[in-house]
Structure 1
Amino acid sequence: MSRYTTTVTSKDCSDPEAVIGYDPPLRTFFLQAFPHKTGDNVALWLGTSDREYETVEALQAAACSRGFDFMPLPQDVALLLAEDLAKEADRQPHGGPLAALLRHLQPK
């Protein structure tokens, strides 16, 4: 799993320590921002389901629909995300009973 720092903005504030990356087992891009002061919860966490956001553009659209944005990405981060996706392009979904159960539990 890759993890890169980026800035996520909302109408009222920004999080310069937000995390964007690619999750190979889930085959999705993800974004986490605005951590709560206590615990591991974050106000924004996208990309937790199999193939939920297969492009950075889809991830951005989802963030924007919730009142957040992270564009433009720094060029180095954008290139690294593209490399991460390219490395995993032929990855097969995880098999086995646990993977099947997790896929079954995901919302349709």
Structure 2
Amino acid sequence: MSRYAITVTGSDGRFDPDAAIGYDPPLRTLFLQAFPDGTGDDIALWLGTSDRQFETINALHTAAQSRGFDFMPLPHDIAAQLPEDLAQEASGPPHDGPLAELLRRLQSK
């Protein structure tokens, strides 16, 4: 799994300088997490929780914007690294272990 710190802004003027973007190999998706509450138990923005939900940065960005959040432009090094993370995982063997199977089963319900 890759995970990088970025800044996410909200349409309400808030910003989260400690948001996380990355690639989750078992789910085969890019993800974005931002704006945790004070306890850290709830996150206002959490995208990329389903199998193959976001296979491109553009798809993830569109989903974030539709919810009133933005993370563009990405820092150059992260914008270059995320597609590499995705490509590296895509060329490897599929994640077909018990955890991946359980996640797919839970998502199908």
TM-score greater than 0.5 by the shorter chain:
yes
Partner in structure 1 of residue 8 of structure 2: 8
Question: Percent identity over the alignment?
Answer: 69
Q: Is the 8 A contact 2:28 2:51 kept in 1?
A: yes
Q: 1:47 to 1:102 in 2, by over 3 A?
A: same
Runs of 4+ in 1 over 6 A off after TM superposition: none
Task: Count how many residue pairs are aligned between Structure 1 and Structure 2.
Answer: 108
Structure-to-structure mapping, 1:69-80, within 5 angstroms: 69-80=70-81
SS of alignment partner, residue 8 of structure 2: strand
Aligned residues of 1:10 and 1:67 also touching (Cα < 8 A): yes
CA root-mean-square deviation: 1.7
C-alpha deviation, 1:92, in angstroms: 4.3
Change (3 A) 1:24 1:67: same
What is the TM-score when the length of structure 2 is the normalising length? 0.88
Listed as ranges, the matches of 1:61-76 within 5 Å are 61-76=62-77
Residue segments in structure 1 that go unaligned for 5+ positions in a row: none
